[in-house]
Amino acid sequence: MNAVSRFTCALAAALALAMTANVSAQAKLETEKDKFSYTVGMDLAKMLEPIKDEIDTKIAIAAMQNALAGGKTQLSDEEADTVRKAFQQRMQQKQAAESSAKASKNIAEGEAFLAANKSKAGVQTTASGLQYQVIRAGNGGKPQATDTVRVHYLGTLLDGTTFDSSYDRNEPAQFALNQVIPGWTEGVALMPVGSKYKFWIPSNLGYGERGAGPISPNSTLVFEVELLEIVPPAAAQ
C-alpha cells in the first residue's frame, strides 16, 4: 500500500482511536482493550509516517469529532473527494520528482565510482563496461548463456547496503543465465565452476531506469558470486 492509500484508508481510524480520546502519551495500559487500542495507534502511526508533514492534526481531529458526533462537516463528500484526488496527484508528482533526482544522482555517482575503480589492482573491465575481480579462481567449466547455474551471492549498493543475499537465506540460488540482468549473464559466463568473483555492474547492465524494490533507478550494483555448479539440463528442468 502506498503513502496515498495509507492516508485515505487509515487517517480517520488513526485519529478516532488514538487522538479523539485525548489519551496521554504515558497512558496507563491496564486492560486488554487499553493495550490493543495503544497497539492499533502505534501501527497506524507507522502507516501515516510517510505523510505526517502533510497533516494538521488539530484540523483532522476537529473533522473527526464532528463526523463521530453526527454533526455537519465543513466539506461535503464530493468536496473531500476533490481534495483527496488533488492530494494524490500532488504526492505522485512529488514522488516522481524525487525519483528523477535520485536517478540522476545515482548515475553520476556510479560513473565516478567505476572510473576510479577500473584502475585498482586486479580489477578488469569488459567491453560492455562490466568490472570484475577474481577473488578465487576455480578450475571447472564455464557456463554458456543458456545454461542454468547454482550460485551463492551477496548483492550490495555502492554504499554497502545489502539488498539481496543467498548467504542470509542459507540456500544457494539456481537460475538460467539468460533470465537475469545482463551484468549477471555476462559476468557469470566468465567464471569457471568453483570460482568466486566480485562484480561491479553499471546501471545499464543492471535494473536501469526502472530500479527494482530496494534498488533505486540507475543504481550501480556490487555482487560477490560463487559459482557452485552448472546444473545438468535434466535437473534444471
Which residues are marked as active site? 153, 163-164, 181, 207, 223
Beta strand spans in the chain (E): 124-125, 131-136, 148-157, 162-165, 173-176, 196-201, 221-231
Q: Residues 44, 49, 51, CA angle at the centre, nearest 5°? A: 115
Q: Tell me, what DSSP letter sits at residue 126?
A: -
- Using DSSP, state whether 211 is helix, strand or coil: coil
Cβ-based neighbour number of residue 226 at 10 Å: 21
Q: Torsion-angle region of residue 28: left (phi > 0), alpha (psi -120 to 50) or beta?
A: beta
Q: Residues 184, 190, 191, CA angle at the centre, nearest 5°? A: 95
